[in-house]
Structure 1
Amino acid sequence: MEVDVVVVGGGAMGSAAAWQLARRGRSVVLLEQFEQGHHIGASHGATRNFNMAYAEGDYLDLVTEAKDLWDELEGATGMQLLDLVGLVNHGNVRRLRDVRSSHAERGIESHFLPATEAAERWRGMNFRGDVLVVPGSGRVRAADALLALRHAAEAHGARFEYSTPARDIRVEGDRAVVVIDSGEITARRVVVTAGAWTSKLLGSTVPLPRLVVTQEQPAHFTPLDDSLTWPSFNHNPDPDDPRDAYWYGPVYGMLTPGEGIKAGWHGVGPVTDPDGRSFTPEPVQLEALVRYVREWLPGVDAESAAPMSCTYTSTANEDFVLDRFGPVVVGAGFSGHGFKFTPAVGRVLADLADGGGAPARFTARR
């Protein structure tokens, strides 16, 4: 079989790349090693934060583009994908002032509230210092987004093949060959968006930076009062306050309708092999998360923790890898903060497949 592009990995990023490529008229086959809707990688679950609280211009440009593309995808599929309930950011106010300054330069709406006013508005949460509110943020309906991306890609002729692992990728001149159980597929480009399996699949084929796979262990907590309003949130420890010394790292969270308030440490789970995960929470980290919830989220039952499991595949600086090596395009290292950018990342990967470039921050060889 011969096609223009094979996409290896059918999570959010691969599905977005397939959509962007197919709408350009490319013949696209997407290969996903597991069944549709599996819970083994990084794209499953009902919700993710849609967070515009970045200070870096290239990330702000990418997330602004992503917002427009999420809206376009909603229009194309008739599915609601964003709930712009607002997002609050607190802790480490010095960093938040940088974010606010970058927002002001780009005309992104955000503002500070004093802790007392924020606590009055969001009674399920506690605050210690000034809070940066971003009204145009909120959450992405992640599971629905995967379906929407697939439907949009298939509407332009892309073919999604589930339970079809790529066994090998060979570079032959200016083309690539993907080996699957039923044979081989030759393509002008191969886009690899294999998440935690990226390094295993590519080996030494391309010079990637070190990608560390961790098993992350957020949990859902039951709200005590269904009348409370919940924004999405990010909370960074204050480096100057000893009361935060027990924290493992930053905390993120959001309301997941029907499941409760999701909260988790960011990027501190145990290093794991994606083919040998335990799927069970690390007990000391979970105990610390429950303590955090008890202290900072009075609107939930801290003892109701229902842990879940996902993977992060992280670079040392948490910047993504979006690059091309001959006929092989790689999207990797999304470091637990990539989902909000999904449709814009798909556009960048499609550009790379078509011979274009990516922002310098995301090239593996910078």
Structure 2
Amino acid sequence: MSHHIVIGAGLAGAAAAYSLTARGEDVTVLERHTPANDRGSSHGSARIFRYAYPGRLYTELVVRSRELWTEVEAASGVELIAVTGAIDHGDVRHTAGLAEIFEAVGVDHEVLDPARAAERWPQFAFDTDVLWHPDAGVIDAETTVNTLLDLASATGRARVLRDWTVAEVTRRSEGGFRVTSATGEFVEGDRAIVAAGGWLPALLGDLGLPQSFLSALPRFEVRQEQAFHMPYRDADESGGPRTVWPTFIHKSSEIFTYGLPGGRDAGFTGQKLAQFNGGRVIDSALDQDGQITEEMRARMIDYAKRHLPGLVPEPYAETTCLFTNTPNEDFVIDEVDGLVVVSACSGHGAKFAPLLGEFAADLAMGTGEVPDRFRVGA
């Protein structure tokens, strides 16, 4: 049995703690604020769970991840993914290629022309074929983090230290790691997993990583994304939609947007939408200011007017969220000398949370395989 230190209590860190304790390992989770706090990338109740990817690997990994989500829901008795279905469209979304991957992997789907799609979803305006896959949905990220940590803690093998800012990770002469806080406290363990999200770029130089590993890492770019909740035009007495709204991705030569039912974050009374990677670039999570720009607000109002006739194009709630991007949008999941780095990058990691935890635990324990595509320098 080993003692593992997990840095970061977002989706990836919580999933790693859960996976490790399920294997009989001891874990200490270090969180600079509180789990799933709104200064990170795992807060709130609305993240997209979808299967559509232009490469087969990610779609296959979503299928594996969904099996693990089902196991977590069964173990906790908590619904973490609300099934809504998803639509993909736009002149550069290449729905035919996505459908080919679905066919090969065995994901239920349907391709509709714009007229048929408009009949089914009159709340959208379509000008290309539309790919529909009914098993997609919405992840409650905050509830997922807390559920995973609760399951880990219930084993008696996990503790979570809140308001614990990591300042340095050093290797002990006798083996293992010492993690020191900004106030001088420390935790020691045999293995360390760093799942720090938008804080990772600022932390990299303090992890004691070999220069060869640091040099092989891709460039991390942190963006402060902006999302807007707009009310349903056909709202019922509670403000919820009378028409079922799926999640969507609209990728055109003009703009790349996504949207989903806003869930608890905005009272279940509107659709959440945003421009993908439309937020300003910052050095790390330390530099975020949570500000919405007039330019982005105007852009999304204009988008809703032209493409989402089922919404009242007037935001009633707004939020920011951090995306930590790599140049090719791939994840970084690798281990060097007992330290595991997990960066579920580029705004699409939430759906893989329980699988990321499995990958991190596998690397920490020296078991299992992580796709070479995610390994540094592979």
- TM-score interval, normalised by the smaller of the two chains: over 0.9
Deviations 1:172-195 (A, max 9, x none): 465221112353222221000001
Deviations 1:328-362 (A, max 9, x none): 10111511011011111111011011114410111
Query: What TM-score, normalized by structure 2, do the two folds share?
Result: 0.90
Deviations 1:260-297 (A, max 9, x none): 10000112210124223221112222211111111111
Structure 2 residue 341 is the aligned partner of structure 1 residue 330: yes
DSSP-derived class of the 1:300 partner: coil
Whether contact under 8 Å (2:11, 2:36) holds in the other structure is no
Q: Distance in 2 between matches of 1:108 and 1:235?
A: 20
The structural deviation recorded for 1:57 is 2.4
Q: Distance in 1 between matches of 2:199 and 2:49?
A: 25
The structural deviation recorded for 1:146 is 1.4
Structure 2 residue 350 is the aligned partner of structure 1 residue 339: yes
* 2:330 corresponds to which of 319, 332, 336: 319
* 1:261 corresponds to which of 271, 278, 282: 271
Question: Residue 103 of structure 1 aligns to which amino acid in structure 2?
Answer: F
The structural deviation recorded for 1:37 is 4.6
Q: Distance in 2 between matches of 1:20 and 1:346?
A: 6
DSSP-derived class of the 2:177 partner: strand
Q: Which position in structure 1 is the counterpart of 2:226?
A: 217
Report % sequence identity.
Answer: 33
Q: Which position in structure 1 is the counterpart of 2:373?
A: 361
Q: Distance in 1 between matches of 2:196 and 2:160?
A: 15
Query: What TM-score, normalized by structure 1, do the two folds share?
Result: 0.93
What residue ranges of structure 1 are gaps of 5+ in the alignment?
A: none
The structural deviation recorded for 1:119 is 1.4
Sort the Cα spacing of 1:106 and 1:98 in 2 relative to 1 into closer, same or farther, 3 A. Answer: same
Whether contact under 8 Å (1:169, 1:202) holds in the other structure is no
Q: Distance in 1 between matches of 2:5 and 2:30?
A: 7
DSSP-derived class of the 2:18 partner: helix
Q: Distance in 1 between matches of 2:121 and 2:325?
A: 32
Deviations 1:19-48 (A, max 9, x none): 001110111000100024521111001111
Whether contact under 8 Å (1:216, 1:267) holds in the other structure is yes
- Aligned residues, how many? 356
Alignment of 1:137-152 (within 5 A): 137-152=136-151
Q: Which position in structure 2 is the counterpart of 1:235?
A: 250
Q: Distance in 1 between matches of 2:75 and 2:355?
A: 16
DSSP-derived class of the 1:309 partner: strand
Structure 1 residues 263-272 or 251-260, which shifts more?
A: 251-260
Q: Distance in 2 between matches of 1:40 and 1:133?
A: 33
Question: Residue 291 of structure 2 aligns to which amino acid in structure 1?
Answer: T
Root-mean-square deviation (Å): 1.7
The structural deviation recorded for 1:305 is 4.7
Q: Which position in structure 2 is the counterpart of 1:159?
A: 159
Structure 1 residues 80-89 or 54-63, which shifts more?
A: 54-63
What residue ranges of structure 2 are gaps of 5+ in the alignment?
A: 236-241
Q: Which position in structure 2 is the counterpart of 1:188?
A: 190
Whether contact under 8 Å (1:93, 1:130) holds in the other structure is no
Q: Which position in structure 1 is the counterpart of 2:238?
A: none
Structure 1 residues 117-126 or 306-315, which shifts more?
A: 117-126
DSSP-derived class of the 2:48 partner: strand
Q: Which position in structure 1 is the counterpart of 2:170?
A: 170
Whether contact under 8 Å (2:10, 2:145) holds in the other structure is yes
DSSP-derived class of the 1:303 partner: coil
Structure 2 residue 313 is the aligned partner of structure 1 residue 302: yes
Whether contact under 8 Å (1:3, 1:185) holds in the other structure is no
Deviations 1:213-259 (A, max 9, x none): 1100011111111212100111101x3xxxx3xx3xx2111112324
The structural deviation recorded for 1:211 is 0.6
Question: Residue 74 of structure 2 aligns to which amino acid in structure 1?
Answer: G
